[in-house]
Amino acid sequence: MKKHILAASLALASFSSFGAGFQLNLQGLRQLAMGGSGTAWPWDASTIFYNPGGLARLKNIQVYGSVMSINPTTAYGNFQGSSRSVQQSFTPFNFYVGGTVRENSRLGLGLGIYTPFGTGLKWDDNWAGRYIVQSIDLKCVFVQPTISYRLTEFLSVGAGFVYANGNFDFKAALPVQNLDRQDATIALHGNASGAGFNVGLQMKATEHLQFGLTYRSQVNMDLSGGSAHFNVPNILRNTFPNTTFETALPLPSVLSAGIGLKPLTNERLTLQLDLNYTGWNSYDSLRINFTDHTNSLKDMHAPRHYRNTLTTRLGGNYKISKVVSVMGGAAYDPTPVTNGFVSPDLPDADRVILTCGASIKPIKRITILAACEFVTSLKRDAKYNYGNFNGTYWTQAITPGIGVYYNF
């Protein structure tokens, strides 16, 4: 006889994870203000991220710090009603130190600490998609020691080793209710780490025309020993025991090509174009493996099938005077998430990005930067077949940021 009638799975619905929305392109404020482009032109020490090959082009050692504030909001609607995510605020930061070891040296050294993936989404606990996600949060910091060498006046190369560390939090309702009709919940929390690299070629054809080519490797974030906490009715304590889990979250590779030029004879205007090819298709499924299993608590497996994307970024910097410059830019960032796989934990859609910014150099050696990014997704009629959860999503985010750098 079946000993426990309560067999089968009180299905843990699923959950997905990261898409373009989790990839932050905020690693340098001047680049952010130019639509996120910066592969070709080594503006400052943030080239450690944008193109390690450009580091040997800096004239001296530079210390660079910046902080941003992201405030994304996602709206959801179906034929029965609509809801909006709870306002979340996230403050990614960047810190770089580096440059040529002494004036006119061919060797550049540096260290970057930056936030390439992150953000979160929190819905009302009782919203329609609560059995798929109530909140998700991911913060990822990369530490990248970098070496760069100027082979010739034309070509400079660079490479950095990436150590990544991140926190992962997830909460969803479980389809069992207590006598007060409240849903049970699952809460996952864990810390992940991984390693990768960032290499680049920087090419200076003339003073007015430069090129860049970089490859940032995939970083496999391994998460083990994460805590899985179940808040369930008493009678189900043994059915859903608190346990630990492990998973792997692949952060995708990015291949970038950029061109920068100064079209005007007065050299005040710099225009640049970047293309980013992101290898999202490495992310074909997500598995959560629990340490303890019961008839109802089984490992989760959610199919993804992300596709690679090509992002186009365009920006300009206009030097008004020796002290003040202004920047503007735009980008188009198509979603890696194919329809049928659009989960409300990351309701990703094609994004349109508009940016602006300014820099001032009040005294010698110090530059202060400010930038602002506005992102809107295109409204998407999305399907999530795995949880049969469909609807229309629209996401917007405004990201202001400030920063400063000092040249030694």
Partner 1 sequence: MKKIYTIGALACLFSACKPSVNITTPPTAGEAVFTNYMAIGNSLTAGYADNSLYATGQINSYPQRLYEQFSLIQVHGARDKFYQPLLHSDMGYPGPRKVIGETYSFCNPLDSSIGAVDLPYFSQDVEDAKANNFPVGPNGQLNNIAVPGIRVADYPVMGYGFSNPYAARFYHNPAGGTPLDELKFRVDNLHPTFFTMWLGANDVLGYATAGGQGNGTMNALPAVLNYYSTNDITPRPVFENNYDTAVQLSISTGARGALINIPDIKSIPFFTTIPANGLFISRQSLADSLTAFYASRNYVFQLGYNYFIIEDNAGILRQAVPGELILLTTPMDSIKCRGWGSYLPIRKQYVLTTDEIQFIDNATARYNEIIANEAVRNNLTLVDMYAFMKTLPAGQVYNGITYNTQYITGQAWSLDGVHLTPRGYAIVANQIIDAINTKYHSTVTKIDVNKYNGILFP
Is residue 392 involved in binding partner 1 (CB under 8 A)? yes
**DSSP annotation of 29:** H
**One of 258, 391, 401, 403 touching partner 1 (CB under 8 A):** 391
Does residue 130 belong to the site contacting partner 1 (CB under 8 A)? yes
Would you count residue 77 as binding partner 1 (CB under 8 A)?
A: yes
**Do 120 and 138 contact (CB within 8 A), yes or no?**
yes
- Measured CA to CA, the distance from residue 219 to residue 140 in angstroms comes to 11
Instruction: Among 104, 152, 321, 388, indicate the residue that binds partner 1 (CB under 8 A).
Output: 388
The reply on whether position 151 binds partner 1 by CB under 8 A is: no
Size of the site for partner 1 (CB under 8 A): 59
Stretch that binds partner 1, among 5-13, 38-46, 52-60, 197-205 (CB under 8 A): 5-13
Taking the least distance from each CB to partner 1, the nearer of 159 and 370 is: 370
- Find the shortest distance in angstroms from Cβ 116 to partner 1: 25
Site string for partner 1, 32-71 (x = CB under 8 A): ----------------------------------------
Question: Across-strand partners of 355?
Answer: 329, 373
Choose the binding region for partner 1 from 172-180, 200-208, 218-226, 361-369 (rule: CB under 8 A): 172-180
Between CA 364 and CA 406 the distance in angstroms is 9
Looking up tokens 């619905």, which residue turns up? 13
- The first and second tokens of residue 113, run together, are 């600490």
Binding residue (CB under 8 A) for partner 1 from 60, 69, 89, 177: 177
User: How near is the Cβ of 218 to partner 1 at its closest, in Å?
Assistant: 29
When the beta carbons of 131 and 277 are compared against partner 1, the nearer one is 131
Site for partner 1 in 336-375 (CB under 8 A): 352, 354, 372, 374
C-alpha closest to that of 93 among 361, 406, 401: 401
Give the nearer residue to partner 1 in terms of CB position, either 317 or 395.
Answer: 395
Among 405, 327, 401, which Cα is nearest to 371's? 401
CB of 125 to partner 1, least distance (A): 13
**CA-CA distance, 299 to 245, in Å (whole number)?**
9
Q: Which residue has the tokens 């629209």?
A: 394
Compare residues 3 and 364 and give the one whose CB is closer to partner 1.
3
| Nearest C-alpha neighbor of 120 from the set 84, 169, 165 | 169
Tell me the three state secondary structure of residue 21: helix
Q: How far is the CB of 253 from partner 1 (least distance, A)?
A: 30
Q: Across the chain, which distance is largest between two alpha carbons, in Å?
A: 87
Do residues 241 and 249 make contact, with C-beta atoms less than 8 angstroms apart?
Answer: no
Q: Which x/- pattern, by CB under 8 A, does the window 248-287 give for partner 1?
A: ----------------------------------------
Give me the phi and psi of 95, to 5 degrees please. -140, 130
Q: Which of 214, 220, 282, 280 is nearest to 31 (CA)?
A: 214
How far apart are alpha carbons 277 and 180 in whole angstroms? 50
User: How far, rounded to the nearest angstrom, does the alpha carbon of residue 98 sit from its chain's CA centroid?
Assistant: 23
Q: How far is the CB of 195 from partner 1 (least distance, A)?
A: 35
Interacting residue ranges for partner 1, rule: CB under 8 A: 1-11, 13-14, 73-82, 84, 128-132, 175-179, 181, 232-236, 239, 296, 352, 354, 372, 374, 376, 379, 386-389, 391-396, 398
